[in-house]
Every structure is written in C-alpha cells, then in structure tokens.
Structure 1
Amino acid sequence: MKFIIDIVKGIFVGVANIIPGVSGGTMAVSMGIYDRMISAITNLFKQFKKSVISLLPIGIGCVIGLVGFTYAIQYLLANQPFPTCLAFIGMILGGVPILVANLKKGMRATHTKFGVVQVIAFLALFALVIVMPLMKSEGQSASLTDPGVVTILKLFLVGIVASATMVIPGVSGSLVLMILGYYYGIIDTLKSFLDSLAAFEMDGILAGGIVLVPFGIGVLLGIFLIAKLIDYLFRRHSVTTYSAIMGLIVASPFAIIYNVMQESGMRITVLNTIAGVVLLAAGAVFTYVMGSKGEE
C-alpha cells in the first residue's frame, strides 16, 4: 500500500515540475517525501538498495505525472496563453511568502543580516532573469529542430541546471527552463516523441530521442550530483542562497510574459482577463497553501 501511496505522491510532484511557477520541491515537502528523497539521493551509492527502494515508486509517479500533463499544458499554452500565463504568475507569487519566511528563519538561525553580499546575490539573479529572455533571437521550438552538437551539449547543461532547481523548495524547474528559453521546445518535443512512440514511428522516435536523451541525462546527473551542493549551500549559506532565489522569483513574471508573448502571442479580451485574474488568485492561494503545509 505504501508503494502505491508513494506513486500517487510522485504523480503530484511530476505534475508540479511541468508547470512553470510551481515548485516540485515544495510539492514534495507538502507531500511529506522531500527529506526522504534528498536523503536517498545523497546516499545513493552508500545505501544503494535502500535508496532505490525509496526512490522507485516516487520516480514512477513523477514519470506518470510528467507524461500525463504534457498534453494539457501544451494545449493551454497554445489556446489560452494569457489566462495560463497569469495562472503561472499567481503560482509564483503564492510561493514568495514562504521564501521570505525561510529567508528570515535562516537569518535568525545564523545571526546573519541582509547585507551587501545578499543584495549582490539578489540583483545578480534578478538581472540574469531579465536579460536572458531578451538575448533570444529565435523561437524556442525552432532551436530544438534538427539539433547539432552544440545544441545537444546545451541541452545536457540545461538539464543539469533545471534539475538542480527542481530539488529546491520554492523554485520551479520548469520556470527556469522557460527563463533559459527551452521550455516550449522541450514540451513540444516530448509530446511529439510520445505521439511517435504510440504510433511506433521510428523517425519521430529518433528525432525526439536526440533532444530528450541528452536533456534527460543532464537532469539525472543534476539531481544526483548537485543535491549535495544544494544541501551544502542551504546549511552553510542559507541567507545568501535564499536571497539569490528571491531575485530569480521576483523577476520571473517578466520572463514568463515575454516568453509566452514570443511563442504564442496573447490575445487579451475582457473574458480571458477575468479568467486570468481568477486563475492568478487561485494559483497564488494553491502555492501558498501547499508551501504552508510543508512548513508545518
């Protein structure tokens, strides 16, 4: 029974990881499996059998959640980009109070004040998030069409970066993908790959594999190799780390709006504005409640 329950919890984490603005780490905390996941990851080679048994059902659930929600998220971004965009932003804003509380907790625990180093960390990530979308010169989906060696290497590195953020409560790995300019390309490629797999079309399977395999390897390496670094940063430099994360989060609504406008365009009407505002509020409440439960 515990195996099935862990699969269900993993499904929620998987769905959270594919929605920009929702933190897979926060969802894992709220589901009560975060500490177990991090412990299993960091001790994988020391306690291999125990770690695999612990991670397997969660991993199965994550895959089910990711695959199952891929079609829904692509449809929403293609057909209702503006309300979907506002829903993402609401989910981001809902996580800010939790991050602020963690920042204050770190300051009290380490007797650290918010000083020059923390301001620099905040501004550096804030500026990076603002500048990166502006540097793109072409659509994200086009950048993953017939990828060359350089693009494959980039996908590997992007996988590492995205997976590293997936394990941080309060930070969305999909949001980072969107900021980096690869979210739409990965989602479109994953859907095409699944369609080709269902129809057993080898050309489509190979084309998708060329993109997804290096990205997937990067994700796995990022999770297993950077988990210890993340653990170290939060233990030794929690205030500076949270300051940098706050910079990323505060600037990310701009990156989301810019990216969605570039990829899908946004027809703004009275009806979808009302729907968007409602979804923004609902998204903020959802993320805040999930994060608050994780803090209890």
Structure 2
Amino acid sequence: MKNELVQWIIRFIKGIFIGSGAILPGVSGGALAAVFGIYEEIIQFISNIKKEFKSKLLFFLPVGLGGLFGIIVLAYPIESLLRNHPVFILLFFMGCIFGTVPLLYRKAKLHGQKKWHVYLTAFTAILSFILLVAANTFLDVQVAQTPLTWIMVGFIFASGFIVPGLSPSNFLIYMNLYEPLTRGISQLDLTILLPVGTGALICVVALSKLVNHLMNLYYTTIFHFILGIVIASTVIIFPSQNQWSQLSLYGLFFSVALFIIGLLLGLWMGRLELKHKPEE
C-alpha cells in the first residue's frame, strides 16, 4: 500500500513537470515524459486505448491530474516568471532535466547500444541546437487569433507530447500566440480552450499509432535521438547575457541554488523511479 502511494505521488509530480514543461519555451512535454520513463507507456495507452483500459487509466490518472495542474494552474505563474525572473525558472528546469538525463540514458540502452547510437545522440544534439538558435533568431510571424488558429495551436501543443523533442511553446512564440494561450488557459477562456482541445485530440488520434509503431520497430534509435533532443533543448534555454545582467549578486547565488535544487530533485526522482519500478 505504501509503495502504491509513493508511485501515485511520483506519477503526479511527473505529470506536473510534463504539463508545466510543455508550456515552458524550449522544453518538450514528450521529451520530459521520456526523461521520466513513461513516454513509451503513454504512447502505447493512447494508441491502443481499449487494451487494459481500466488498469492503464488508473495508472495514468495521477499523471493526467499532475499535467492539468502543471498546465492550468502554473501556466500564468510560469509565463509571469519568464517575463520578470527568467533566470530563476530556466535554471531550475535545467537542473531538473539534467538530473533525470541518466535515467533517460539508461532507458535508451535498455535493449542494447551500438557505437553509432552514441554518435546519433551527439549529432542530433548539435543539429537540434543549431536549428533552435536559427529559429529563435529569424522566426517571428504574426498570426490572427481565430477558432481555426486555436485548433492549429491545439494540434501543435499536443504534438509536443506525441513527438519527443518538439517544443510547442517555441512555435507559439514565433507566431506570437504564446502569451494569448497562457492567458486563456489561466483564465479558463472556453473560446480558446475548446478549439485548442479539439486540435489536441486530432493530433493524438492522428499521430499516436504511427509513433507507437515506430517505437516498436526502432526503440533504441528513437530513444538515442530523443536523448540528443533533450540535451539540445535543455542547453538552448540557458539564460541570455541580457537576462544574467539584470541579476544582483544575491539573485546570482539564488539562481545557482535553484539549479542545484532542480538537479538534486531530478536525481532523486530518478532514484525513486529505479527503486519503485520493477526491472524491465
């Protein structure tokens, strides 16, 4: 019973990170799900939803509740912190993600590893970093806010969960839709939430089976690819020189402390995962 309660709490915390990470620019909800060791299970569940429905629903209930908490409750605070104290929140998330990377690496080589898999991770990390820097530098599009636009936003947002490494928040920033979305979520604006939910559902139905099929065929390759994406997307959110320059000496020490706290939290969650999850 105690182990079940610990598992429930762990999955709830994972859901919070996955949900809040999904709205943090540069971070992918799907990549975080992979980091926390539940991406494969999520894809299998939504692509074969009738199979063991009750047991899987109960398993993912805390993840879903944590995700909703992370998205709805934390959407506005995260957006506000990004505007007012970006270094604090970015370093904390960087620490959390880096702390769980060893668990993702263990997951990636679960079924064996060849030297070219390591090269793939390195190549993916470098290429992804270059593409993200280019996108952050050159992309800036103004998109009208219509119901069809919000359906598209929902599709993009959900794709960040289905396709690991894809950061939907970055795309929304490029289209100047990020702040309207986070504001709409925090205010529970149904004119935004309903079409966004529709687009997300379309994305899940359209892509989950394909991704699950690819996972079954190329598990090791895909997870090493995900690992490279995670490394690049984590490094890319490192605060800019301008953001660092706004910090006082106290703020600098506090930022480093938050990074260390996030790192220790990530390592702790990784150890809990290994301790309470049966060996595969």
Same fold (TM over 0.5): yes
Choose from 92, 95, 103 the match for 1:98. 103
State the match for 2:267 in structure 1: 288
Q: What is the aligned partner in structure 2 of residue 158 from structure 1?
A: 156
The one-letter code matched in structure 2 to 1:177 is: P
Aligned to 2:86: 81
Distance change >3 Å, CA 127–CA 194, structure 1 → 2: closer
* Cα drift, residue 10 of structure 1: 6.1
Q: Secondary structure at the match of 2:246?
A: coil
Q: Structure 1 residues 266 and 236, CA, compared in 2 at 3 Å: closer, same or farther? A: farther
Matched AA of 1:92: I
Matched, 1:275 2:254: yes
Q: Which letter does structure 2 place at the counterpart of 1:81?
A: P
**Offset at 1:94?**
1.8
Counterpart of 1:12? Answer: 13
Unaligned runs of 5+ in 2: 276-280
Q: 1:248 aligns with which of 229, 243, 265?
A: 229
Secondary structure in 2 matching 1:163 = helix
| Aligned residues of 2:17 and 2:67 also touching (Cα < 8 A) | no
CA gap 1:219/1:157 in 2 versus in 1, 3 angstroms: closer
CA deviation after TM superposition for structure 1 residue 154, in Å: 4.4
In structure 1, the residue matched to 2:197 is 216
Q: Percent identity?
A: 21
C-alpha distance in 2, partners of 1:49/1:158?
29
**How many residues end up aligned between the 2 structures?**
265
CA distance change for structure 1 residues 118 and 87 in 2, over 3 Å: closer, same or farther?
A: closer
Tell me which of 19, 28, 33 is aligned to 1:25: 33
Please tell me whether the aligned partners of residues 93 and 259 of structure 2 are also in contact (alpha carbons under 8 angstroms): yes
- Contact 2:99-2:265 at 8 Å conserved across structures: yes
The corresponding residue for 1:235 is: 216
User: 188, 191, 204: which is aligned to 2:183?
Assistant: 191
Cα RMSD between the aligned structures?
A: 4.2
In the aligned structure 2, how far is the partner of 1:117 from the partner of 1:58?
A: 30
Deviation at 1:295, TM superposition (A): 3.7
1:131 aligns with 2:134: yes
What's the TM-score once normalised by structure 1's chain length? 0.67
Shift of 1:278: 0.7
Which consecutive residues of structure 1, in runs of 5 or more, have no partner in the other structure?
198-203
Write the deviation string for residues 90-114 of structure 1: whole angstroms up to 9, x where unpaired: 2232233223333343434xx5643
**Match of 1:242, SS?**
helix
Looking at structure 2, the residues matched to 10 and 285 of structure 1 have their Cα atoms a distance apart, in angstroms, of 18
AA matched with 2:168: L
